[in-house]
Amino acid sequence: MATPLFERIGRTLAIGAVFLLGTTACGEASSSDDGVVARVGEYELSVEAIADLLVNVERFPAQIDVIRQVADLWVDYTLLGVAAVDDSTFGSLDFEPLIQQQVNQFMIFQLRDSVIQTDTAISDLELAEIYAAEDPALEIRASHILMQFPPPASAAQRDTVRTQLLAIRARIEAGESFAALANQFSQDRGSGALGGDLGFFGRGDMVVEFEEAVLALEPGELSQPVETGFGLHLIRLDELRSKDFADIAADLRTRVQTERFFRAESTYVAGVEGRADAELTDGALDIVRELARNPASRLSGRAGRRALFDYAGGALTVVETQLVLQTQAEPFRQQVVNGTDDEIDAFLRGLLQRELLADEARASGLEPPRERFDSMVTDARSQLQDAAGTLRLTRLDRAPGEPMEQALERAVYEAVERVLTGATDVIELGVIGFQLRQGSSPAIFDTGVGQAVLRLGQLRANRSPSLMEQAVDSPGVAPDTPND
């Protein structure tokens, strides 16, 4: 089901246990950095250390992306630990931008509830007519092989990916197993591990380009390469089936009611935007691409105040847009970097609508009092203190005479180790993480990352198999199976 417009416009990210890491500078290491994967000030993550962290965590393969994510996690926790040592209350960090986003979201939801009125009564006869006209009970089962374009992809690179996918298609047509090739080549690793199987899904569950392509096929038929925002897909339609009206009537009624609410909501938002007479400024799209490419960039006051959208009574500025991009995961920022002008315009327009609705809510007297705002800031600071405590970065276990730096280095290593083994949830720092990076210039070195991949592979090849691996490999041991 689609996300309500007000929710899409109002949504922000808070501190929580989600694996979304910030942006850290990458580059080639100098000769003095040989054997180093990442550095934060005087702290270093060595190739040996990161390989030791991962060698027995079998669910993480020896791949560049895995090493980078673990290194990014180490950078986050090192910065958090340094900040906690300097001031365990985190009094120098500015939580107000994050809280303002949460306040705006709260106000927008209140505004929605107060202004959106729609008739959601639907008779059984009307519902039956909708069922007959739309065929909403159709369920589709399909498989796909996804190949992604490298960011940013040139025309030649895009052609190369298409050629590779067409070669895979030819192999399937020649009799090779779709499932085996999906497992080998699909960059959607979730479905790829299942032979490309996406299971059953309904109308509207997939992006438009994918749904249109799969519904143009006959069961068992292969598509030509289909491009979506996720990359290039080779799709096979596996099965179509329908449910009876009685089986879906309740869900259909809910869906139609929700769609009517969305339409009323969209009409209201369009009216607010129309009255604002908003205008996209020259060069705004290129600025957004650069912000998404380097979300931690330091901006002068003048650059941060530059308008991306001008509207009656205000502007959507560069720094406001940067703040939103900093709260998003790296894959989303890459989509912005590689997005078309229309896609980036739509992204900016969504931010504009959120700002206009927040202004409308304030004008309607829905802004919480300052005391409530200050209380939310205090709560957020407390959450960060709790996160640092959970990671054991606030009270360091120092041996007699041990330097604080050595104790912190060990505590960060152990915190990352607990996350990798699943003993501790990953803590997302979001906007606060970007603040911590200011002035510290953390770096992840491409050469060190490559060395870590090779070293991890070497260690795993030489180590003794784990108990789990021994059980799987032993000829006399078979996995449990349900009784017939």
Structure tokens at 373: 């705002």
DSSP string, 315-333: EEEHHHHHHHHHTS-HHHH
Judge whether 202 lies within some domain: yes
Same domain, 190 and 285: no
Same domain, 339 and 454: yes
Tens digits of pLDDT across the chain (484 residues)? 334 334 433 332 232 222 223 345 455 545 556 899 999 989 999 999 999 999 999 888 999 989 998 998 999 899 999 999 988 888 888 888 778 888 888 899 889 888 887 777 888 888 888 777 776 667 899 999 999 988 777 888 889 999 999 999 999 999 999 999 999 999 998 899 999 999 999 888 899 999 999 999 999 999 999 999 889 999 999 998 877 788 778 888 888 888 888 888 888 889 999 999 999 999 999 999 999 988 877 788 888 999 999 999 899 999 899 888 887 777 788 889 988 999 999 999 999 999 999 999 999 999 889 998 899 889 888 988 998 999 999 888 888 988 999 999 999 999 999 999 999 888 877 677 777 876 677 888 999 999 999 999 999 988 655 544 444 444 444 444 444 4
Same domain, 207 and 324: no
Region of 44 please: left (phi>0), alpha (psi -120 to 50) or beta: beta
Count the domains in the chain: 2
Judge whether 14 lies within some domain: yes
d(CA 413, CA 400): 20
Same domain, 196 and 254: no
Q: What predicted TM-score, i.e. pTM, was given to this entire model? A: 0.56
Q: Which amino acid is at 261?
A: F
Judge whether 129 lies within some domain: no
Return the DSSP state at 95: -
Q: Using N-to-C axis directions, what is the helix angle for 47-54 and 404-421, rounded to 10°?
A: 30
DSSP string, 13-53: --SBS-------EEE---GGGTTEEEEETTEEEEHHHHHHH
Same domain, 233 and 179: yes
Judge whether 201 lies within some domain: yes
- Name the residue range of residue 226's domain: 138-242
Q: Using N-to-C axis directions, what is the helix angle for 64-86 and 404-421, rounded to 10°?
A: 140
CATH number at residue 166: 3.10.50.40
Same domain, 20 and 69: yes
Alpha helices in 366-438 (DSSP H): 370-390, 404-421, 430-437
The set of residues, in sequence order, having a beta carbon less than 8 Å from that of 244 and lying 6+ positions away, is 137
d(CA 25, CA 266): 40
For the chain, what is the total number of helices (H) and then of strands (E)? 20, 11
d(CA 255, CA 249): 10
Rg over CA atoms, the chain:
26
163 — phi, psi (to 5°)?
Answer: -65, -40
d(CA 233, CA 213): 10
Same domain, 184 and 105: no
d(CA 268, CA 93): 37
| Domain's final residue, options 242, 271, 297 | 242
Same domain, 14 and 154: no
Task: Indicate the helix (H) or strand (E) that contains 241.
Answer: strand 231-242
d(CA 225, CA 236): 11
Residue 194 neighbours by CB distance under 10 Å? 16
Same domain, 10 and 52: yes
Q: How far is CA 126 from CA 202, 242, 249, 279, in A?
A: 21, 20, 11, 42
Tell me which residue of 87, 101, 82 sits closest to 40, measured CA to CA.
82
Return the DSSP state at 428: B
Judge whether 421 lies within some domain: yes
pLDDT at 26: 52
Same domain, 72 and 166: no
Reported residue count of the chain is 484
DSSP string, 193-213: TTTTEEEEEETTSS-HHHHHH
CA atoms within 13 A on the CB side of 161: 21
Cα 155 from chain centre:
26
Q: Which amino acid is at 357?
A: L
| Domain's final residue, options 197, 220, 242 | 242
Q: Which amino acid is at 167?
A: A
Structure tokens at 111: 């505004």
Judge whether 446 lies within some domain: yes
Strands (E), 128-188: 138-147
| Domain's final residue, options 190, 207, 242 | 242
Structure tokens at 145: 């092989």
Same domain, 257 and 362: yes
Distant-in-sequence contacts of 123-128, Cβ < 8 A, 24+ apart:
124/249, 127/249, 127/252, 127/253, 127/256, 128/245
C-beta separation of 226 from 235 below 8 A:
yes
Return the DSSP state at 310: E
Judge whether 199 lies within some domain: yes
d(CA 240, CA 138): 7
pLDDT at 18: 24
Same domain, 53 and 188: no
CA quadruple 106, 112, 115, 120: dihedral positive or negative? negative
Judge whether 128 lies within some domain: no
What pLDDT, in 10s, does the model give residues 335-394?
899 889 999 999 999 999 999 999 999 999 998 899 988 998 898 889 889 989 999 998
Partners of residue 316 on adjacent β-strands: 309
What pLDDT, in 10s, does the model give residues 68-122?
989 989 998 999 999 999 888 888 888 887 788 888 888 998 898 888 877 778 8
Q: Using N-to-C axis directions, what is the helix angle for 96-115 and 341-363, rounded to 10°?
A: 80
Alpha helices in 277-300 (DSSP H): 284-293
